[in-house]
């Protein structure tokens, strides 16, 4: 029998490399790491592609949030062509140490909707990450203004965001909320005045979130079988 290592590569998907240790995280009640977050966002994008939407990888969100040099942020953000996007979703992490890319203890989500010119923060732990989301907002907002934009987008905390019942499912809530927002925007139906708020509140249930570990493992298994 061949022994497996935690560092064994089990799947390369787009720019994301998943390892055996990632399967263990998904199989247990553990905090999701950057690789799993990035993998699922990349998968979501490939399933429902749209040139108007961008799902930002966690590493990019982290760097924008914590880079101390404003000019470096400008040069880094320009190639992303954020001005061309109608909907942008940023994962938010509470890590503030640039030397620890896999650090942090909590995930939340910041979504920008251009037509409403609004940055909406969804936090499944009662606003725990609000200060980090505002730092990301303040860092990115100067690079999101176009000639047709009347003012800087407003930051709001979504008070109706479903709340986690434990200390480790925050990453799953981020992925579940990102999926609902993505589908809300991609749907051909009319958009209500409350943006995606009611869709998130109704569809991101404890049972849906708890089933996401199994769902992501099934996606990984399916993609591995295609190789």
Tokens representing residue 12 in the block: 């390369």
Which residue is listed with tokens 């950057």?
A: 34
Q: Could you say which architecture CATH assigns to the domain 51-205?
A: 3-Layer(aba) Sandwich (3.40)
Catalytic status, residue 131: no
pTM: 0.92
pLDDT (0 to 100) of residue 1: 46
Catalytic status, residue 97: no
Q: What is the per-residue pLDDT across 125-145, written as a single tens digit (0 to 9) for each?
A: 999 999 999 999 999 998 887
Q: Are 174 and 107 in contact (CB under 8 A)?
A: yes
pLDDT (0 to 100) of residue 27: 95
Which residue is listed with tokens 């998907």?
A: 13
Tokens representing residue 219 in the block: 């996606």
For each of the chain's 227 residues, which pLDDT tens digit applies? 445 677 899 999 999 999 999 999 999 999 999 999 999 999 999 988 889 999 999 999 999 999 888 888 888 888 888 989 999 999 999 998 877 767 789 999 999 999 899 999 999 999 999 999 999 999 999 888 765 555 678 999 999 999 999 999 999 999 999 999 999 998 755 565 569 999 999 999 999 999 999 999 999 999 999 86
Half-sphere exposure of 128 (CA within 13 A, CB side): 17
Q: What angle do CA 85, 181, 183 make, to 5 degrees?
A: 95
Q: What is the CA radius of gyration of the chain?
A: 17
Name the active-site residue from 22, 94, 106, 122: 106
In order of 2, 33, 39, 213, the CA distances from 18 in angstroms are 19, 11, 8, 15
pLDDT (0 to 100) of residue 227: 67
DSSP state for residue 51 in the 8-state scheme: T
C-alpha to C-alpha distance for 99 and 86, rounded to whole angstroms? 32
pLDDT (0 to 100) of residue 17: 96
Catalytic status, residue 152: no
Name the active-site residue from 22, 123, 158, 169: 123
What are the residue boundaries of the structural domains of the chain, listed by start? 51-205
């Amino acid at each position: 029998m061949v022994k497996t290592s935690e560092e064994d590569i089990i799947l390369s998907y787009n720019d994301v490399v998943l390892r055996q240790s990632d399967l263990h995280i998904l199989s247990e009640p553990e905090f999701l790491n950057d690789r799993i977050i990035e993998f699922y966002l990349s998968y979501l994008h490939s399933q429902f592609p749209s040139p108007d939407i961008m799902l930002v990888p966690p590493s990019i969100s982290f760097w924008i949030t914590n880079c101390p040099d404003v000019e470096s942020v400008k040069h880094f953000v320009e190639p992303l062509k954020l001005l061309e996007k109608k909907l942008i979703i940023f994962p938010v992490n509470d890590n503030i140490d640039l030397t620890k890319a896999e650090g942090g203890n909590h995930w939340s989500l910041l979504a920008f909707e251009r037509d409403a010119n609004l940055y909406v923060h969804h936090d499944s732990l009662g606003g725990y990450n609000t200060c980090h989301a505002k730092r990301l907002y303040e860092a990115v907002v100067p690079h999101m203004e176009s000639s047709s934009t009347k003012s800087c987008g407003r930051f709001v905390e979504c008070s109706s965001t479903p709340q986690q019942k434990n200390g480790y499912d925050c990453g799953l809530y981020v992925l579940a909320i990102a999926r609902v927002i993505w589908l809300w925007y991609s749907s051909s139906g009319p958009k209500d005045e409350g943006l995606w708020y009611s869709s998130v509140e109704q569809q991101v249930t404890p049972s849906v979130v708890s089933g996401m570990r199994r769902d992501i493992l099934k996606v990984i298994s399916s993609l591995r079988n295609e190789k």
